[in-house]
Amino acid sequence: MLFDLPNQPTLYAALLARDERYDGHAFVCVSSTGVFCRLTCPARKPKAENCTFYATVGECIEAGFRACKRCHPLQAAAMFDPTIGALLHALHERPDRRWSEQHVEQLGYDLSTVRRSFKRQFGMTFLEMARHRRIREGFETLAVGGKVITAQLEASFESASAFRAAFAAAANFFARRWQRACRPPPWRP
């Protein structure tokens, strides 16, 4: 589903107005909190300079943002599609797991259906989403001062070198997030 985002002032006005017409079509990433929201989020509105807008949940997650716990930007899709709902719930229960195709199959889902549904709804596959989530969790354990070994265990990496590789990738996300914040927003012309 392609939707050309309007410019930043229009989207920011829609955010202030909690305009429902953008629900599912535009999301706001807030650099001061690290969270992404629906434009209709009931939380206090962030300053314009802290907002970056994207058309898909996948882009927000890839940029290193986590879903808001107040407006639940993934929930509309979860309600619309029970398979998505069940897998998001499973991921929520086990964010530390190295999710693989086998896990998805063990839960009784058809891989290609799951891949299609997630791509359509979020612009990202379930396994990509799970990987981003796991790396972020590991990174955040470190950020709050956890010992490296704790973070390593919590994130269930199979080895220290795998952990270091993932950590480097996470550092990369955050670096990208800063770069993106400094760049003009990614509207399609």
- The residues that touch Zn ion, with contacts defined as CB under 5 A, are 37, 41, 43, 68, 70-71
Residue closest to Zn ion, measured at CB? 68
Location of structure tokens 């314009």: 48
Nearer to Zn ion, 29 or 71 (CB): 71
Asked if 111 and 83 count as a contact pair (C-beta separation under 8 A), the reply is: no
- Min dist CB 65 to Zn ion, Å, is 11
- Min dist CB 132 to Zn ion, Å, is 18
- Min dist CB 45 to Zn ion, Å, is 10
- Min dist CB 68 to Zn ion, Å, is 3
Nearer to Zn ion, 27 or 167 (CB): 27
Nearer to Zn ion, 44 or 183 (CB): 44
Location of structure tokens 């220290």: 160
- Min dist CB 155 to Zn ion, Å, is 26
Kindly state the helix (H) or strand (E) to which residue 37 belongs, with its residue range: strand 35-38
Instruction: Work out the angle at residue 93's Cα, subtended by the Cα atoms of residues 83 and 150, and round it to the nearest 5 degrees.
Output: 140
Region of residue 51 (left: phi > 0; alpha: psi -120 to 50; beta: else): beta
Nearer to Zn ion, 41 or 51 (CB): 41
Nearer to Zn ion, 47 or 70 (CB): 70
Q: 54 vs 1, 30, 80, 123, 162, CA distance in Å?
A: 13, 11, 21, 11, 31
